[in-house]
A and B are shown apart, each in its own frame.
Chain A
């Protein structure tokens, strides 16, 4: 029982990160209809931006986070302007291959700039000790990560529901034609959603880098797992991606706790948490393809 609770807690902690990155994906998908396969690479680049200010320029951590987020904002706007906007209304294959090619470009640039080796932030803002609650232990670092993630998620949900530009985003997602008629500028909403998404990705990247260190090759995986979370929740829904992220995180740790010992016993060597989100993804696609909160579109010839 203690192990079960332990796994749920760890799953929630990592799941909140998937939810955070997934929110960026949903923002982009709703405003432009593009599923951004390069989100994991934006996570990695954002984290590396922060590291550049903290590591290379030896700045204190808080200003370097802010500057890194600013860099991510610019990068998001740049990608939107150069690669996404010309593709509006193009077939879905074009947008998919575009984001995939973008991920190759970002990966190449990151490998050249920061090298393939692991890095870590020079100073951490969260304490690293464990909390022991009976038989269950909670890593404090990850707990504070969860708190920050929750605060960002809450802020984003509030922003989308209440502020003028957030409402404009919702309107564009609902009905682009109608909201343009009513005076919402679609291009600036698009630009804003990509910039916001890049910032959220960079923040997620910083939190991940704080937890497990920075590595160019392995960080993009978080983006792909966030895509799985997004599908489980339904591609259009912010609440959906929140639930999906937590579900994927818990499923991942459950698999890690209960399947890995068995896999190691039969010689497969464990490590199933790397792919378990995708197993869940395939199962969800087979059973409930539009996720738990997604919009099922009705098609006519």
Chain B
């Protein structure tokens, strides 16, 4: 029931296409046009929130490929974001490289770090691998704090990026950069999971012994999944560093990694769109608590803590009652409105 009435899969290419009907094309283009108008009529505070949401979304895309599709649990995604952030900031500030060079370098550096900590996946899986990434979280965080080259408490400052002479200093202009990159990374992720690579990932997730029997080189693909997942984290980290103006270890704690896993669960594991829904859901509710805390008679810290407790409970409730996440709910809703008013 995932297709509107009268749409048939006449060829494999048609079956695999992301956008199927003319109406969907229209909605996609209208949606992107609407998003492009956002800086005109959204209050600055919420635009800022949207920017942070999109940065997190890119990291959650990576987590979705690594954890959702390949089944390799990563509890250290925000530490890999930190690797990207520090790499990008150091390259831009200390070496004077332009943003467009620093951004992919940050991704690759984070990916390589991911390979190092993903190496235990050659021997272990599941819980044990999750512990290796937990160790990565603590070890990398410690390195950020103690390596004198990375500036200690102050961190490393990162200049605002500029494209063709236009400096992206304002929240609005950075919004366009993030919108473009999020769309690009989202489509890239979607394309990865519907090619040979993605099918190999899914096979490894479902049963790695059987996947090996079918001729998939499990170790190479697992490491590749680690590289891709952490590459996304590195890109997100670099964007965050250049947006806030500095790379600082306070943004890359265990809690942030846990939030990303929570977003993945709330959104739904088996799909790239799940990452979008989950990130929007968690980030917007969290920010609603922060922004409305004074109105409820609480301090900002109290509001944030209350939001944390509530969202933690929401994640647990999702795991117990709707493990397939918001994405599944949305599919059910689509199926029901397509059939309405008939029962089947």
Q: Which B residues are in CB contact (< 8 Å) with A94?
A: 265, 319, 323
Check if B312 sits within 8 Å of A102, measured CB to CB.
yes
B261 contacts the other chain (Cβ, under 8 Å)? yes
| B residues 126-167 touching A (CB-CB < 8 Å) | 126-128, 130-132, 134-136, 138-139, 142, 146-148
Check if B124 sits within 8 Å of A35, measured CB to CB.
no
Least CB distance, B119 to chain A, in whole angstroms: 7
| B residues 211-230 touching A (CB-CB < 8 Å) | 213
Residue of A nearest to B209 (CB): A301
Interface locus among A135-143, A245-253, A264-272:
A264-272
A109 contacts the other chain (Cβ, under 8 Å)? yes
B58 contacts the other chain (Cβ, under 8 Å)? no
Tell me the complex Cα distance, A35–B126, Å.
11
| A residues 84-120 touching B (CB-CB < 8 Å) | 86-87, 90, 92-94, 96-98, 100-105, 107-109, 111-112
A75 contacts the other chain (Cβ, under 8 Å)? no
A212 contacts the other chain (Cβ, under 8 Å)? no
Tell me the complex Cα distance, A214–B174, Å.
43
| B residues 275-332 touching A (CB-CB < 8 Å) | 302, 305-306, 308-309, 311-313, 315-316, 319-320, 323
Check if B146 sits within 8 Å of A268, measured CB to CB.
yes
Q: Which of A35, A90, A105, A108 contacts B323 (CB 8 A)?
A: A90
Q: Which of B119, B135, B313 contacts A281 (CB 8 A)?
A: B135
Given contacts A102-B312, A278-B139, A282-B132, contact A97 B261 (CB under 8 A): yes
Q: Which 4 A-B pairs have the closest CB atoms?
A: A108-B309, A105-B312, A278-B135, A104-B312
B interface SS class: helix
Check if B139 sits within 8 Å of A289, measured CB to CB.
no
Q: Which B residues are in CB contact (< 8 Å) with A92?
A: 73, 126-127, 130
Could you tell me how many residues of chain B have their Cβ less than 8 Å away from some Cβ of chain A? 48
Q: Which A residues are in CB contact (< 8 Å) with B210?
A: 301
B98 contacts the other chain (Cβ, under 8 Å)? no
Check if A83 sits within 8 Å of B316, measured CB to CB.
yes
Tell me the complex Cα distance, A166–B135, Å.
32
6 new A-B contacts at CB < 8 Å, known A112-B306, A282-B117, A282-B120: A97-B261, A97-B319, A104-B309, A105-B312, A224-B134, A290-B128
Check if A103 sits within 8 Å of B309, measured CB to CB.
no
Check if A267 sits within 8 Å of B261, measured CB to CB.
no
Tell me the complex Cα distance, A101–B257, Å.
11
B89 contacts the other chain (Cβ, under 8 Å)? no
Residue of B nearest to A83 (CB): B316
B142, B148, B210, B306 pick with most chain A CB within 10 angstroms? B142
A231 contacts the other chain (Cβ, under 8 Å)? yes
Check if A108 sits within 8 Å of B308, measured CB to CB.
yes
Could you tell me how many residues of chain A have their Cβ less than 8 Å away from some Cβ of chain B? 47
Check if A268 sits within 8 Å of B148, measured CB to CB.
yes
Task: Mark B residues whose CB is within 8 Å of A.
Answer: 67, 71, 73, 75, 117, 119-120, 123-124, 126-128, 130-132, 134-136, 138-139, 142, 146-148, 207, 209-210, 213, 255, 258-259, 261-262, 265, 269, 302, 305-306, 308-309, 311-313, 315-316, 319-320, 323
Residue of B nearest to A288 (CB): B123
Q: Which A residues are in CB contact (< 8 Å) with B67?
A: 93
Q: Which B residues are in CB contact (< 8 Å) with A274?
A: 138, 142
Interface string of A262-297 (1 = CB under 8 A from B): 010001110110110011011001100110000000
A227 contacts the other chain (Cβ, under 8 Å)? yes
Check if A105 sits within 8 Å of B131, measured CB to CB.
no
Q: Which of B71, B138, B312, B315 contacts A108 (CB 8 A)?
A: B312
Check if B138 sits within 8 Å of A286, measured CB to CB.
no
Tell me the complex Cα distance, A281–B146, Å.
20
What are 10 A-to-B residue pairs whose CB atoms are below 8 Å? A90-B319, A94-B323, A98-B316, A104-B258, A105-B309, A112-B305, A228-B135, A274-B138, A275-B138, A278-B138
Q: Which B residues are in CB contact (< 8 Å) with A271?
A: 142, 146
Tell me the complex Cα distance, A100–B119, Å.
23
A300 contacts the other chain (Cβ, under 8 Å)? yes
Check if A224 sits within 8 Å of B127, measured CB to CB.
no
A175 contacts the other chain (Cβ, under 8 Å)? no
Check if B316 sits within 8 Å of A289, measured CB to CB.
no
Least CB distance, A108 to chain B, in whole angstroms: 4
Tell me the complex Cα distance, A108–B138, Å.
21
A129 contacts the other chain (Cβ, under 8 Å)? no
Q: Which B residues are in CB contact (< 8 Å) with A289?
A: 120, 123-124, 128
Q: Which B residues are in CB contact (< 8 Å) with A227?
A: 131, 134
Q: Which A residues are in CB contact (< 8 Å) with B146?
A: 263, 268-269, 271
